[in-house]
């Protein structure tokens, strides 16, 4: 592992850290289960060093620690008697130091005891780390200042390391006057980021988008963004660009002309369906759907494939067997939540709150549609059953408002609880990022939309910025439920299936 250069400076340290490296020859089920410990157990100090935008984790053992052969089932006792100084000890300590380049770090995973965690490296090396003098969450909180962390969708205890935080960004905030006020802007930004992380981040990035465009013209003022239409004036360093219809914008290739076509017909579908039930020439099939959608008479069958309920490779027998198993699994999920007693619900507040939220949303979802209209409508019961079962299926995510909007068209199309449930599962597998608590996916989409708007229509982008709407919060619902509330049911089905290559 590479070391930091001598000029690197320390930006963080944590004392009383025990670390041991694991050599994994198979899947590790738990700490010490099937792992071989190939280094030593020792208490020391963990440092974070940085030089420019590069960062390293350095662990330095205490001199009083001794090398021991580790037992995979428990921590060894460390000798705390300070030995007499030996010149050779410095070389031994240097050899025991552990360097981790942040770019080599794949993930951090907290263990059930919040004082312990795993560092997983990209080369499959794993370090088992014990923070003796503090909560490991404190390390995570500090580490976020230097690394971009993304929480795993499957485990709340796991964070993927996506790269280093650009320290120059804080300078950009101050220089670009993103907050429109004098004083300690960075301090105010950090406070707002702590109190209102989602709104603050999007507001800053939306303004930064305008500043980036104006920066291309040599101006650091957001109001100069309109000058982008007049090209750049940096001599030969940059290519002169324009945003007219005759020239590509910001060096982008001309937009390809997409010719819409007829929807996928029964005849075309049969040319892809083999006699044994398998589906062939999938790429050609998806291209046809992208250009024209799907004939409504085929949607019941084709959407099962698009939503990963049925794999394209299955023959008739295999598809029937899979569906039988899926129906049985759905029934098991229903029995799980339906068997809760009132006493259990009273002691299980998270389940009780989610159940209450689902009930409220079901009663107000698409009630103007004939399929869900009226009192005592059995389709409302199906909507409720599927959402409750999905809550049990993916309890980490649970239920978030908006999910009922995505399920409604699927249930109306399938008109069958098990089929609609598994199609909804496939849909959520691709769109669940919209509903994660961290809102990482929504932030990314709004930022991308802001950047596209600045490139394709800078006049509108500048107008929105001038009227404090550059954060595009009004687009939040559009993206969250994929325009479900903005179009008719028939139109939204066409939009979803046309985008199926990217959405489903």
CATH tag, 9-164: 2.30.29.230
Structure tokens at 416: 């069958």
- pLDDT value, residue 68: 39
* Inter-residue contact 281 to 272 (CB < 8 Å): yes
The set of residues, in sequence order, having a beta carbon less than 8 Å from that of 6 and lying 6+ positions away, is none
Please give, one letter per residue, the 3-state secondary structure of 248-265: CHHHCCCCCCCCCCCCEC
Separation between Cα atoms, residue 66 and residue 77, nearest integer Å: 10
Domain edges within the chain: 9-164, 168-251, 266-435+485-503
- Classify residue 55 by its DSSP letter: E
CATH tag, 266-435+485-503: 1.10.8.270
Q: Where are the alpha helices (DSSP H) in 274-414?
A: 282-292, 296-306, 316-338, 342-347, 349-362, 378-393, 403-414
- Whole-angstrom Cα Rg for the chain: 28
Separation between Cα atoms, residue 45 and residue 12, nearest integer Å: 10
Separation between Cα atoms, residue 370 and residue 8, nearest integer Å: 67
Task: State pTM to two decimals.
Answer: 0.53
Q: How many CB atoms lie within 10 A of CB 140?
A: 16
Which residue has 């609880």 as its token pair?
417
Helix, strand and coil percent figures for the chain, each rounded to 5: 50, 15, 35
- pLDDT, tens digit only, all 504 positions of the chain: 578 888 888 888 888 888 888 754 433 333 333 334 344 456 888 889 888 778 889 988 876 544 434 343 333 333 444 445 555 555 555 657 888 988 889 998 887 656 788 899 988 889 888 887 666 777 877 787 788 888 787 777 888 888 777 554 444 333 333 333 433 444 454 445 445 555 555 555 444 444 444 443 333 333 333 333 333 333 333 333 333 444 444 445 676 776 788 999 999 999 999 999 999 999 999 999 998 999 999 999 999 999 989 999 999 999 999 999 999 999 999 999 999 999 999 899 999 999 999 999 999 999 999 999 988 899 999 999 999 999 999 998 899 989 999 999 999 999 999 999 999 999 998 888 888 877 778 888 888 888 889 888 889 989 998 888 888 888 988 988 899 999 998 999 999 998 887 665
């Amino acid at each position: 592992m590479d070391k930091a250069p001598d000029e690197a400076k320390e930006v963080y340290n944590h004392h009383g850290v025990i670390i041991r490296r694991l050599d994994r020859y198979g899947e590790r089920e738990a700490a010490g289960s099937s792992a071989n410990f190939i280094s030593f157990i020792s208490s020391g100090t963990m440092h974070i060093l940085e030089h420019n935008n590069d960062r390293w984790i350095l662990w330095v053992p205490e001199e009083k620690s001794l090398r021991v052969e580790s037992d995979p089932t428990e921590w060894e006792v460390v000798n705390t008697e300070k030995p007499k100084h030996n010149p050779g000890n410095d070389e031994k300590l240097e050899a025991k130091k552990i360097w981790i380049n942040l770019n080599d770090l794949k993930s951090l995973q907290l263990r059930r005891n919040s004082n312990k965690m795993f560092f997983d490296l990209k080369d499959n090396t794993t370090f088992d780390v014990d923070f003796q003098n503090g909560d490991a969450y404190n390390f995570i909180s500090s580490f976020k200042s230097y690394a971009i962390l993304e929480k795993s969708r499957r485990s709340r205890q796991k964070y993927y390391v996506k790269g280093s935080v650009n320290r120059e960004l804080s300078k950009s905030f101050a220089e670009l006057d993103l907050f429109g006020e004098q004083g300690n802007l960075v301090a105010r930004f950090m406070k707002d980021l702590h109190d209102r992380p989602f709104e603050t981040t999007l507001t800053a990035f939306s303004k930064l988008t305008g500043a980036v465009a104006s920066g291309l013209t040599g101006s650091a003022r957001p109001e100069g963004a309109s000058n982008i239409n007049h090209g750049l004036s940096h001599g030969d360093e940059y290519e002169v660009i324009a945003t007219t219809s005759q020239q590509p914008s910001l060096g982008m290739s001309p937009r390809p002309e997409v010719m819409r076509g007829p929807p996928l017909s029964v005849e075309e579908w049969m040319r892809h369906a083999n006699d044994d039930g398998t589906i062939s020439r999938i790429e050609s099939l998806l291209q046809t759907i992208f250009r024209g959608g799907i004939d409504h008479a085929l949607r019941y069958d084709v959407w099962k494939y698009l939503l990963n309920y049925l794999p394209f490779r299955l023959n008739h027998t295999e598809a029937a067997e899979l569906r039988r198993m899926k129906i049985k699994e759905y029934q098991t999920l229903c029995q799980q939540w339906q068997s809760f007693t009132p006493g259990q619900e009273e002691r299980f507040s998270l389940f009780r709150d989610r159940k209450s939220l689902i009930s409220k949303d079901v009663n107000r979802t698409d009630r103007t549609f004939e399929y869900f209209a009226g009192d005592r409508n059995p389709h409302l019961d199906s909507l409720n059953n599927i959402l409750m079962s999905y809550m049990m299926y993916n309890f980490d995510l649970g239920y978030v408002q908006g999910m009922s909007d995505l399920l409604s068209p699927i249930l109306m199309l399938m008109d069958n609880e098990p089929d609609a449930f598994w199609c909804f599962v496939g849909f959520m597998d691709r769109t669940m990022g919209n509903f994660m608590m961290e809102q990482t996916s929504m932030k990314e989409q709004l930022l991308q939309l802001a950047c596209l708007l600045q490139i394709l229509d800078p006049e509108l982008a500048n107008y929105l910025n001038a009227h404090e709407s550059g954060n595009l919060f009004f687009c939040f619902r559009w993206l969250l439920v994929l325009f479900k509330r903005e179009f008719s049911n028939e139109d939204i089905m066409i939009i979803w299936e046309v985008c199926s290559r990217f959405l489903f």
